[in-house]
């Protein structure tokens, strides 16, 4: 295999390790996927350093917050010691809304900025792209009515996820990248700049 092929293989493994170690609560190994100084995570409910994200994720995990990640297709552009990876994913969160247990499934992509640090690939920045989501009651006999005003506060790509998280007490960021629009175009531009050395 060529060096670029090796790099792509290592990056794909890193992306898979992120999902497996985070969802399993393996915090020591989860910390190893991030750049030790510059790791940055953006999500609906969190924007900050990798260190703070690990702490917040661990606290949520220990308090019963149920957020799981599943991965699909993957592609990586590698330029020297920098890379941008995109990975199809779903975010699955279970919680109660107004006393009714629900599942929200959000489909999108992880858009990742990576760099080679001390000979191995590390995650510098992760920005999910939220493409579409849905909400289902866990008990088929249950029913609920969503507050349309709260639901409409958020973009279509993650409105149900934001609804659930807001009801659970999280502060959810508006204006995150979706399938189309200014935010995702800006993200693509930043990815090109990253590969060009910015």
Cβ pair 106, 158 in contact under 8 A: yes
DSSP string, 112-144: EEEEEETTEEEEEEEEEEEEEEEEEESSTT---
Contact criterion met (CB below 8 Å) for 71 and 16: yes
Between the alpha carbon of residue 189 and those of residues 76, 130, 158, 195, the distances in Å are 16, 17, 22, 10
Between CA 185 and CA 187 the distance in angstroms is 5
173: number of CA atoms within 13 Å, CB side?
17
The confidence score (pLDDT) of residue 103 equals 97
CATH number listed for the domain at residues 3-188: 3.10.450.50
Domain coordinates in residue numbering, the chain: 3-188
pTM over 0.85? The answer is yes
The one-digit pLDDT tens for each residue of the chain (198 residues) are: 789 899 999 999 999 999 999 999 999 999 999 999 999 999 999 999 999 999 999 999 999 999 999 999 999 999 999 999 999 999 999 999 999 999 999 999 999 999 999 999 999 999 999 999 999 999 999 999 999 999 999 999 999 999 999 999 999 999 999 999 999 999 999 999 999 999
Of 78, 83, 80, 22, nearest in space to 55 by CA: 22
């Amino acid at each position: 295999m060529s060096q670029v092929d090796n790099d792509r293989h290592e990056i794909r493994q890193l992306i898979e390790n992120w999902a497996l170690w985070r969802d399993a609560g393996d915090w020591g190994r989860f910390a190893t996927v991030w750049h030790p100084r510059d790791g940055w995570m953006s999500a609906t409910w969190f924007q900050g350093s990798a260190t703070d994200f690990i702490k917040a994720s661990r606290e949520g995990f220990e308090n019963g917050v149920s957020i799981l990640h599943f991965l699909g297709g993957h592609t990586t552009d590698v330029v020297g010691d920098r890379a941008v990876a995109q990975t199809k994913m779903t975010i699955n969160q279970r919680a109660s809304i107004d006393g009714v247990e629900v599942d929200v499934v959000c489909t999108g992509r992880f858009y990742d900025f990576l760099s080679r640090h001390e000979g191995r690939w590390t995650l510098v920045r992760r920005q999910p792209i939220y493409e579409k989501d849905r909400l289902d009651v866990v008990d088929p006999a249950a029913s609920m009515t969503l507050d349309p005003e709260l639901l409409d506060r958020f973009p279509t790509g993650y409105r149900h996820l934001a609804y659930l998280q807001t009801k659970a007490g999280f502060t959810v960021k508006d204006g995150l990248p979706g399938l189309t629009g200014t935010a995702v175009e800006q993200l693509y531009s930043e990815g090109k700049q990253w590969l060009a050395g910015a």
